[in-house]
Amino acid sequence: MAQLELQHVSIHGHEVSYRMGGDGPAILLIHGMAGSSLTWKEVMPLLARSYTVLAPDLLGHGESAKPLGDYSLGSFASGLRDFLAVVGVERMTVVGQSLGGGVAMQLAYQYPELCERLVLVNSGGLGREVSWMLRVLTLPGAEFIMPVLFPAFVRDRGNDLSQFLLRKGLRAPRIAEMWRAYVSLAEPENRRAFIRTLRAVVDPGGQVVSAKDRLYLTVGMPTLIVWGDADHIIPVAHAYAAHEATPGSRLEIFEGVGHFPHAEEPLRFAAVLTDFIETTKPALLGRQEFRELVRTRG
């Protein structure tokens, strides 16, 4: 299945790379930490049959620029607002996986007028628990041992093995996604951006940013929560808790699937997302309505 070609645009003097295709209502796909738009390569062509699909590389990730600066969820959200303005998309269904889920919730919180629906896929920002490896990498000095943990020669040998397996027709999407993240961290500028991003949302005790106290703000915004119950990075318990706290949300648990449902079961993921979009009405929440919601529930 063909991938949508990588495109580039300059925003505030920094290059942002993205994939875009299809026609119809817009869907914004936001990848996770140390990921890129490539994580959506299997589902984008499926969704592009009926929708305009956008998948940017967040700053500090993929082929986008990796400047010094702010890598907080708020900064990512404002960057996506500007990206959407540049590419001419006014409203969309926003889909975020892992870190991208936290960014998606922040986008809906800061700019509700842009978001018609919210889809959270094994999302960060819904509880304290997260894998021990990510917590370790927030410790002081972790950036100095990362070149040892992620050496370039291991990347090169692993890439050779990956190509061999692909030629043999063997598919292991969960491993492939984790390997792609590992490969990205072999580059010094990627490691610097990764550490800045990680420390903005995680500390040695776990996740430090939580949207749980603001999930009531999604009332009136159709919300879908998708999770793999074999996720060893963010536990599936977060999905059940978020579903209970989110008025009118839908919950889809992918049995035996890990942290990347969209890559591990792309056909099912595309079908679930399409059904969700086709059976819900887009939210029309403006800033005035949002202010009233905060005042009445705050």
Catalytic residue flag (residue 36): no
Q: Specify whether 12 is catalytic.
A: no
Q: Which two tokens stand for residue 273?
A: 């997302």
Query: What is the 3-state secondary structure of 22-68?
Result: ECCCEEEEECCCCCCHHHHCCCHHHHCCCCEEEEECCCCCCCCCCCC
Choose, from 37, 231, 238, 262, the residue flagged as catalytic: 231
In this structure, are residues 114 and 90 in contact, taking their beta carbons and an 8 Å threshold?
yes
DSSP 3-state of 112:
helix
What the block records as the tokens of 192 is 């610097």
Check if 14 is active-site: no
For 152, the enclosing helix (H) or strand (E) is: helix 152-167
Residue 108 burial (C-beta neighbours within 10 Å; 0-12, 13-18, 19+) = buried
Cα–Cα distance for residue pair 32/38, rounded to 1 Å: 11
Q: Which of 17, 36, 64, 98 is catalytic?
A: 98
Q: Give the residue numbers marked as catalytic.
A: 98, 231, 259
